Structure 1
Amino acid sequence: MRLRRGSGCVIFEVRLTKPPAPWRPGPYPVRLPRRAEAADRELRLTYFESRLQEVLYGTDGAPVRWHRQFATPVPLTGACVRGVEILRMPLVRDGLGLAVLHVDLTDPGSPGASPVPALERLSRLATASTPSGTGRDALQALLPAGTQLVESSTRARTLAHVTFEDRPAPVMSAPYTGWSPVDQWLWLLASACSEERFAPDPDEPAVRSGTVVFSADWRALVLREGAAFVGMTPDREDEGFHALAEAHVHSIYLDAVLIGVMQLYALNEVANAVASTPAGRLDADALASLEHRLMNVRRRLWFSHVTVRGKGNELLRQFQDQHALPALLDNIISELSDAARLVEAVTNRGVNAALGLLTILGLPIGIAFSSAAVWGEPHPRLFLISALAAVAGAVVVVAVVRPARQMLRALLRRGPR
């Protein structure tokens, strides 16, 4: 078994304090085989719907994505970095963004070596368990000024693409003989994890539920933290079909996954905002702010149909399913609907209580002032006496009449916290 190609993308979380101005705006341009053009911003816009242009690529005057290509690939923990791109995420706070490394995973000196160990090391560079000086510093050095790597409790997301000079051969142990060689490679690459570190249940069909069939030449598997693309037919041409497939992985299919990642961050931020708002502080203004944030996410980001061409939609839907994003969106909508009913009920209760008190207390007040108008001559002292009598009558009514006390308590009650 000889690997013909092995490359991938590693997606890290970063914090942007300023735009990476020295870097060129736009996504990392991927060379297309047998074509003079590259898969740059203009070409990718012909693949994705125009409604996603702003979040994926920005506009001419306001870019949200920048890239840097290396003339000579930079070694990093057993892989070689071709280039880096930075994407500022919309609708999230604290200047959060994503850094994407485009890497070569195969070693020309060891064509039979598995790319899984290098992919696993790359995915763990920014985790809290990775000590400084073991590759994280080198990763930070690849980023532009004003972009800081964020230490994460989880591994980075990965995409991997491999092909073979002939056909894939089995690579996992005996319990997985029921899996095809392609499925074995898909699992190892999508999980970025060796069988020794984590062995999936070979009899659980859900393990491979994220499979996307492209054609007889290649297929993909999407898991929570990664995706893999494996060629199923021999790859014997430098500029053949599998070269084009590799270019698609590093461009449009990467962008489809990035859409899913941005949806994940934006929806989680709205969900956290809903959960952190105490019920006792929910009012019309707070509810309107939460609903406005959710509406922005839905209008700018929440789409499962992003293209009329290719398999980008299916890849995105598999990512959404792996992270239960449709269920998360339904939960947020349900919570906001319940909050709206609560706010409406509290508002109606307050209005009704105010109207009821006004009606009940209007009687002693009206009697006090009308009696003064009939029996006395207009005088400031008479007005003061009438006002005191009206207040005393109102206090007596509240003390004696039970419904009046209930309406006063309802008017003053602010609800549970």
Structure 2
Amino acid sequence: MTRLARQALIVVYEARFPATPTWEKGPLVLEHGQVRSTTEARSEYFSAKAARVLYGDPSRPTRWHDASPHVIGDIEVTGMEALRPADEPDACGLVAIHLRHRRGMPISLLRSLAGRMNAGTLNYNPLELVDGQATIQPGRPFTVSFVTSSKQGLPRLYRQPRYWRWPPSQQWLWALASRSDITDYPPDPKNLEPADSDVIRLSSDWHAVVLRDGMGVVGTRPDRGRDDSFFGYAELYLRSIYLDAVLLGVLQKQGLTQLEDRMASALDSSASTTMAELEQEVSSFRHRLWAQHLTPHGTPNRLLIAYQRQHALPERYDQVLTEISDFNRLARDDESRHVNSAAVVFTLVTVPAGIALALLQVLETKNPWLFVAVAVACVGLTVGLLSTRSARVAFRALRNRFTLR
């Protein structure tokens, strides 16, 4: 196979942080030419809301990094980053590990990361790399991969005649984003993926595709190596601000999943308490994480929207809002029903007594037998009223109310 001129890979894991990371504060600083991806430079690129989530502020950082290199077999780790938006114990967040495959092709490494059958096992463990800074959560990581070709161009990954009309760059986009090869998922020649509308044309020199678990970026022309300043800057942008746009999307998916889990268990708790907690959590998610516009520059917005579309995040967010609205309506209806039931019972008990007292006052008598007769009539009327269907319904509602508590 033709040797690739450039390749980069970032693996994003969902994690929990038992304590504040002890790595250096801020994102991983990359450099090419006159450009350095410092916290200040990235914050100016994004909106204030996005920058607050991605980097925090000097008094309350949300990003840390470890630039120490590691070589583990054929894998070279060039840096690690931790993103923890919430400053609280056991907070959810992300760990991003920057890798390079020293000898082999990136497809084999991606297949192993995706857990494909017969892909082989990796000889590196992310838990050992983070060294207690975070706990990696179970599940498949999200990958961001970038390749460029030498003068010979990208090799064809799907050599069968039925794929001849499929350009090599499109084949690589699909393979990198899906983390698969012909043995895992043979694409349908009549509906080759990615579709042309799914390709994000960053420029005429490189294209990107965002799928459910991976983002693939491919150079569409030969890479001149160190003398190619464009691809040098492109790799820096990909591993910094473009990666940050994807990280925000992963955080949004993580937050929405937690809200959906809370909704699933909402009916197991007190309605009024749960309603208040859900409203507070949704408000916090909306103000902290939910966004579809990150920057006046177009590319990060397009990458975030592509990720959201793959995970149906806008639809899931609307569904959560709808379910909470329905839950609130049911809780209010339930509360009104209990109040009305209590009012009915109170009325049925007090009205006969009020009638009896009014009758005795009108008669102006001190005859004890008349008092007894009126009292018996009052009790009889009360018993009769309490035996009606309306009274039984009211008692049933109140009994259910106190039983649920």
TM value normalised by structure 1:
0.85
Indicate yes or no: 2:71 matched with 1:80: no
Map 1:4-403; keep pairs closer than 5 Å. Answer: 4-21=5-22, 23-31=23-31, 33-35=32-34, 37-70=35-68, 73-76=69-72, 78-90=74-86, 94-107=90-103, 113-124=104-115, 135-136=123-124, 138-150=125-137, 152=138, 154-166=139-151, 167-174=153-160, 175-204=162-191, 207-208=194-195, 210-238=198-226, 239-278=228-267, 281=269, 283-370=271-358, 393-399=381-387, 401-403=388-390
Could you report, residue by residue, the CA deviation over 1:382-408 in whole angstroms, capped at 9, with x for unpaired residues? x99999986664333211x33233333
Output the CA distance in 2 between the equivalents of 1:20 and 1:124: 28
Output the CA distance in 1 between the equivalents of 2:300 and 2:87: 23
SS in 2 for 1:403: helix
Output the CA distance in 1 between the equivalents of 2:256 and 2:341: 38
Give yes or no for contact 1:20–1:144 (8 Å, CA) kept in 2.
no
Tell me how far 1:291 sits from its aligned partner: 1.8
Could you report, residue by residue, the CA deviation over 1:45-69 in whole angstroms, capped at 9, with x for unpaired residues? 1111111122111111111211011
| Aligned positions, number | 395
Tell me how far 1:258 sits from its aligned partner: 0.3
Give yes or no for contact 1:7–1:106 (8 Å, CA) kept in 2.
no
Give yes or no for contact 1:10–1:123 (8 Å, CA) kept in 2.
no
- Identical aligned residues as a percent: 33
Tell me how far 1:80 sits from its aligned partner: 0.7
Unaligned runs of 5+ in 2: none
Amino acid aligned to 1:44: R
Amino acid aligned to 1:188: A
Could you report, residue by residue, the CA deviation over 1:294-329 in whole angstroms, capped at 9, with x for unpaired residues? 121112111111111140011101100111111111
SS in 2 for 1:357: helix
Output the CA distance in 1 between the equivalents of 2:70 and 2:373: 91
SS in 2 for 1:340: helix
Unaligned runs of 5+ in 1: 108-112, 378-382
Tell me how far 1:7 sits from its aligned partner: 0.8
Amino acid aligned to 1:99: V
Amino acid aligned to 2:163: Y
Output the CA distance in 1 between the equivalents of 2:372 and 2:74: 90
Give yes or no for contact 2:27–2:39 (8 Å, CA) kept in 1.
yes
CA distance 1:176–1:389, change in 2 (3 Å): farther
Give yes or no for contact 2:18–2:89 (8 Å, CA) kept in 1.
no
TM value normalised by structure 2:
0.87
Could you report, residue by residue, the CA deviation over 1:172-220 in whole angstroms, capped at 9, with x for unpaired residues? 1313223211110011111222222232333335643532111110000
- Larger mean Cα displacement after TM superposition, 192-201 or 338-347: 192-201
Amino acid aligned to 1:256: A
Output the CA distance in 2 between the equivalents of 1:324 and 1:416: 40
SS in 2 for 1:250: helix
What RMSD over aligned residues (CA atoms) do the two structures have, in Å? 3.3
Give yes or no for contact 1:14–1:147 (8 Å, CA) kept in 2.
yes
Give yes or no for contact 1:397–1:404 (8 Å, CA) kept in 2.
yes
Output the CA distance in 2 between the equivalents of 1:320 and 1:416: 43
Amino acid aligned to 2:70: V
- Larger mean Cα displacement after TM superposition, 254-263 or 81-90: 81-90
Give yes or no for contact 2:27–2:55 (8 Å, CA) kept in 1.
yes
Amino acid aligned to 2:93: G
Structure 2 equivalent of residue 380 of structure 1:
none
CA distance 1:322–1:387, change in 2 (3 Å): farther
Amino acid aligned to 1:292: Q
Structure 2 equivalent of residue 409 of structure 1:
396
CA distance 1:90–1:325, change in 2 (3 Å): farther
CA distance 1:376–1:359, change in 2 (3 Å): same
Output the CA distance in 2 between the equivalents of 1:53 and 1:376: 84
CA distance 1:286–1:217, change in 2 (3 Å): same
Give yes or no for contact 1:182–1:230 (8 Å, CA) kept in 2.
yes
